[in-house]
Amino acid sequence: MDDNTKPEEINHHRRRFFGTAAAAFAVAELAMNGTANAQTEITPKLPTSGPTTHTSFRSLKQIEAGDLNVGYAEDGPADGTPVILLHGWPYDIHSYVDVAPILASAGYRVIIPYLRGHGTTHFLSAESVRNGQQAVIAADVIALMDALAVKEAVIGGYDWGARTANIVAALWPERCRAMVSVSGYLIGSQEANKMPLSPEAELAWWYQFYFATERGRVGYEKYTHDFAKLIWRLASPQWKFDDSLFDRSGSAFDNPDHVAIVIHNYRWRLGLAEGEAKYDDLEKRLAEGPSITVPTITLEGDANGAPHPDASAYSKKFSGKYEHRVIKGGIGHNLPQEAPQAFAEAIVDVDGY
């Protein structure tokens, strides 16, 4: 653990969408005109507590991409506009289990990969560095797009997934049709992370300092599921998830590389672990805090208990069409799973910018 009104033109996928009976319902639910560079408060239309509507995905697949064999869920028509949705830590693809069918019914091809160190995604070689630095996870997404012959996609994410979406949009804008990013602009650098924060802000990052120690690594390895459940409660204090819902995601943390990837990610951020030299040029570009030019909607839950920047701190980082939305109703850090309708609406809306 960002002023023009949206065009009224309906794109190809919405035209096809209008042609079905199911689409008529979804259109009514998804219709929302936003204005870039404005802040909108939204109350989601789906329940935000208890078990979610869906418990599984229509299709789970595997494909070799770069250094990985990537496990991913897929839904929607093969010829639909691709949407790639990226999960965070400590979460998994089930954050989008209710988002996927909404977007699929709207004609989108929805692709939701397990990030490295999660679920069924595994390294092709035992010799590969178990690297969790920010650039490598974005490079994984580009490799997956290449393997799937996806030239361009709408990309959405939260937590690690939002940072990764930001990086793809900043470094490979030609591959990112538009973006939805929870908690806004999250690109960082080791140099910036040397600067101390206020004591209150540092307290919120307690687990990052814990992971910097050998005791923390051993503790996370021993209590992985307990640790993840604690983060869920702290990051989404009003989300009343049950054990069955947690267990669906918890199995993703049994990946043999999970602990190594998580520990390296947080140690790399503090400059306590080296990255791979082949990503140095990418990290240099990211350290400059590049602007993001692709159409973007940033989202924030009104009850996010995880460390996150205020929208005023990052809005100028988005130089294209842009809107920020606050999702009301006690919505925490895992916004796509807590407010799937609002997240799906943002994907559809930003695709129309």
Give residue-wise pLDDT tens across range 4-54: 333 333 344 443 433 333 443 343 444 333 344 556 766 544 333 333 689
pLDDT tens string 108-159: 999 999 999 999 999 999 999 999 999 999 999 999 999 999 999 999 999 9
Phi then psi dihedrals of residue 82, to 5 deg? -70, 140
351 token code pair? 């695709």
- Is the link from the previous residue into 90 a cis peptide, with omega within 30 of 0? yes
| DSSP secondary structure string for all residues of 96-135 | GTTHHHHHHHTT-EEEEEPPTTSTT-EES-TTS-----HH
Three-state DSSP class for residue 177: strand
* Integer CA distances (angstroms), 97 to 36, 54, 195, 259, in order: 28, 6, 38, 24
pLDDT at 38: 57
Per-residue model confidence (pLDDT) at position 7: 34
Tens digit of pLDDT at every position of the chain (353 positions): 744 333 333 344 443 433 333 443 343 444 333 344 556 766 544 333 333 689 999 999 999 999 999 999 999 999 999 999 999 999 999 999 999 999 999 999 999 999 999 999 999 999 999 999 999 999 999 999 999 999 999 999 999 999 999 999 999 999 999 999 999 999 999 999 999 999 999 999 999 999 999 999 999 999 999 999 999 999 999 999 999 999 999 999 999 999 999 999 999 999 999 999 999 999 999 999 999 999 999 999 999 999 999 999 999 999 999 999 999 999 999 999 999 999 999 999 999 99
Determine the 3-state secondary structure of 230 from DSSP.
Answer: helix
- Which pLDDT does position 53 carry in this prediction? 82
CB atoms within 10 A of CB 197: 12
Tell me the C-alpha distance between 216 and 209, whole Å: 8
